[in-house]
Amino acid sequence: MNVHDRPNTPLLDSYWMPFTANRQFKAAPRMLAAADGMYYTSDDGRQVLDGTAGLWCVNAGHGRRGIAAAVERQLSTLDFAPSFQMGHPIAFEFAERLAAIAPGPEGNRLDRVFFTGSGSESVDTALKIAIAYQRAIGQGTRTRVIGRERGYHGVGFGGISVGGLVNNRRVFPLLPGADHLRHTHDLARNAFVKGQPQHGAELADDLERLVALHGAETIAACIVEPVAGSTGVLVPPQGYLQRLRDICTKHGILLIFDEVITGFGRLGAPFATDWFGVVPDIVTTAKGLTNGTIPMGAVFSSRTVHDALMHGPEAQIELFHGYTYSGHPVACAAGIATLDIYADEGLLTRASELSDHFANAMHALKGTENVVDIRTIGLVAGIELASLDGAPGKRAYDVFVDCFEKGLLIRVTGDIIALSPPLIVSEEEISTMADMVGDAIRRVG
């Protein structure tokens, strides 16, 4: 059924949709009208299994009553309060709750929390904190920020400058001085690996190359996604992240992990920082922070970074940065209720229990025609397809549409399918997802 034939369908003209082929979409819309647990309901009443936790964010599944109740209570208690030179208790409470599970080892957690409104804002905040930190410790020449090819760090000017996806960059001016490590994708050596690939730790030495090129004294920070998600699920080679950590430490460069996707249980530990046992100086988060319900991000900093900025006259604002919605009380209420669910249901580590089944189910698609690689870690999978000649992205897009029509939501980037279901997913649902993706790939051909 076309959306135009459906009763109560809104007009589609006014909404300029993000990261969407607007004209193509509006000619044949795909509408999600409701959601509960593992399922969306489309506007024509079909059940659609959520293979992507919405957009990597609904980690506790949909329609959680505890979050709805907390939001409702907060809205009728304190709907908004300014956070500049004013405070409200729930923001402090949420920060304390986050500090208790913050990335990093017990006793050395990154437990200083700056609130933002999204992942993009978290990234720009982290980059600014890093530059401000360097200046505060007398390293004011360090203003350069290093990202990585194929990285995705949101859509702010900072984020696209360190990001490495060409379509997000080519039209816009970028931060001067940003540079990039090479990406770690290596189909020739690492195809069809479960977990971390064996080859490629030496790619971290690219940071030494950039130090030799620019001078360490010009570099404030290096930012990477511990597992690159939006570029199509690139799992870091064994030893790579530790090597990056060591090079950063050697040269006084802050290491930032962008955990907007990996934060809050995606890999099987609360944060990728914990899963890999490599501790950066700053961690960015969003998405799973509030189970996707109310927009919010949080940046976790080490005490070293935070405390370096807590100097000078007490009446002086230490960091000239913040958002109207930093620490929004309703988002904090959603976040606290989300943390309660994660704790009650053991969701921050549940992916570790499911990851073997998940990996086996996904890797069973090896041998399917046009599948050139499968990568898995925790509850994330990337299934890479051979591109059609002259039409990169078309094959995966057709699989995406086919899956949606058959009742499964997947995500595609280029010709890579990404799966990242809510952490409440059952083994049976995982198997269903793999079967449905396989069937769609075969149908599309």
Ligand X SMILES: Cc1ncc(COP(=O)(O)O)c(C=O)c1O
Site for ligand X, rule CB under 6 A: 118-120, 123, 152-154, 225, 229-230, 258, 260-261, 286
CB of 287 vs ligand X, minimal distance in Å: 6
CB of 292 vs ligand X, minimal distance in Å: 10
CB of 291 vs ligand X, minimal distance in Å: 13
**Which of residues 245 and 266 has its CB atom nearest to ligand X in the complex?**
266
CA distance linking residue 306 with residue 324, whole number of Å: 21
CB of 8 vs ligand X, minimal distance in Å: 29
CA distance linking residue 227 with residue 145, whole number of Å: 19
**Which of residues 154 and 200 has its CB atom nearest to ligand X in the complex?**
154
**Which of residues 229 and 265 has its CB atom nearest to ligand X in the complex?**
229
**Which of residues 114 and 444 has its CB atom nearest to ligand X in the complex?**
114
Lookup: tokens for 307: 């405390």
CB of 98 vs ligand X, minimal distance in Å: 17
**Which of residues 115 and 152 has its CB atom nearest to ligand X in the complex?**
152
CB of 399 vs ligand X, minimal distance in Å: 20
- Helix count and strand count (H, E) for the chain: 16, 15
**Which of residues 19 and 188 has its CB atom nearest to ligand X in the complex?**
19
CA distance linking residue 89 with residue 100, whole number of Å: 17
| 366, 254 contact by CB (below 8 A) | no
Nearest Cα neighbor of 394 from 24, 32, 29 is 24
**Which of residues 273 and 432 has its CB atom nearest to ligand X in the complex?**
273
The DSSP code sequence of 417-438 is EEE---TT--HHHHHHHHHHHH
**Which of residues 70 and 233 has its CB atom nearest to ligand X in the complex?**
233
Residue nearest to ligand X (CB): 119
Nearest Cα neighbor of 328 from 125, 123, 78 is 78
Sign of CA dihedral 37, 39, 40, 42: negative
SS3 assignment, position 233: coil
Beta strands, E only, 209-281? 219-224, 254-258
**Distance (Å) of CA 168 to CA 50, 148, 156, 171:** 26, 14, 10, 7
CB of 18 vs ligand X, minimal distance in Å: 9
Nearest Cα neighbor of 279 from 311, 310, 304 is 304
CB of 327 vs ligand X, minimal distance in Å: 17
CB of 185 vs ligand X, minimal distance in Å: 16
CA distance linking residue 238 with residue 201, whole number of Å: 6
CB of 136 vs ligand X, minimal distance in Å: 25
**Which of residues 156 and 438 has its CB atom nearest to ligand X in the complex?**
156
Nearest Cα neighbor of 228 from 260, 192, 276 is 260
Nearest Cα neighbor of 261 from 240, 294, 234 is 234
Q: H-helix or E-strand containing 443?
A: helix 427-444
**Which of residues 42 and 293 has its CB atom nearest to ligand X in the complex?**
293
CA distance linking residue 50 with residue 411, whole number of Å: 10
